[in-house]
Amino acid sequence: MSTKAGNSKYHLYFGLFGILMGFTIARIGFGDFKEVHNLFTLADFRILLTFALAVVVAMIGFAVLARGKSLPKKKIHPGTAIGGVLFGTGWAITGACPSIALVQLGVGYIPAIATGVGIFAGAYIYKHVHARFFRWDPGSCEV
C-alpha cells in the first residue's frame, strides 16, 4: 500500500468521506455551539435523536454487511472512563469533538483553530504520557 497509486486511492476515499461527513455534521447543526449546548442542557432533543438514529442505522448496517468480518474491538481499560470525562469536559466548553472542531472552522468560526491546535497538542502529549506511564492497551489493535 506504499505505492503511489495506493496512496492516491486513500486520499480520494478519505477526502470524499471527509467532505460527506463534514457536510452532514454541519447540516445537523453539530457545528453550532448553540445547538450543541442545547443538546447537553437537554433543552432540545433533536440532535440526541439524530445521534441515536445514526447508531441504530449503523448497528443494522454492521449487522447485515459486516457479519462474520473481524472489526476492531473496543475493550474497557482504565483510561476509558477517565478519558471520557476529560473529553466530555472539553466538548462542553468548546462545543467541539475532534471532527466538529474542523466543521466549526469550515462554517466560519475562526477561533475553532485554537480548539484544533489544542486537540493536536493533547493527542501528542497523551502519546508520550501513555508510553511513559500507562500500561493498558489503548484499544482496537486486536483486529
Partner 1 sequence: MKLLQRIKYPVLLLIAMMITGGMAAAQQSTDVSTIPWLAAANKGDAESQYIMGNAYASGMPALGIRKDPKQAFQWYMKAAKQKHANAQYEVAASFILGDGVSKNLNAARIWLKRAADNGHPDAGEILAGFPAPTAAPAKPKVPPKPAGTTRRVVAPPVGDSGYEVAGIRVDPMSMIDAVVNVQIFGPYWPWWLGGTALGLITVSFWLAVKTTLGVSSSFDRIVSWREDRDMAKAAAVMQETPTGVLESAMMAATMEQFGDDIPDDILLDEGGAATMAAPISSSSVRIPWPAHVTFLLATAVGGFLSAFASGSFDVQMTMGSTYERFFGNGILMWAVLLVGGFLIGFGTRMGGGCTSGHGLSGCSRLQPGSLLGTASFFGTAIAVSLAMEMFL
The nearest distance, CB 71 to partner 1, in angstroms, is 6
C-alpha distances out from residue 100 to 15, 27, 139, 141, Å: 16, 12, 23, 25
Binding mask 61-100 for partner 1 (x = CB under 8 A): xx-xxx----xxxxxxx-xxxxxxxxxxxxxxxxxxxxxx
Sole binder of partner 1 in the list 2, 5, 67, 135 (CB under 8 A): 2
CB 64 within 8 A of CB 82: no
d(Cα 35, Cα 96) in Å, to the nearest integer? 11
Size of the site for partner 1 (CB under 8 A): 114
Name the helix (H) or strand (E) containing 14: helix 4-28
* Residues 6-65 interacting with partner 1 (rule: CB under 8 A): 6-7, 10-29, 31-35, 37, 40-42, 46-47, 49-62, 64-65
133 touches partner 1 (CB under 8 A): no
Sole binder of partner 1 in the list 5, 67, 68, 101 (CB under 8 A): 101
- What's the chain's Rg over C-alpha atoms? 18
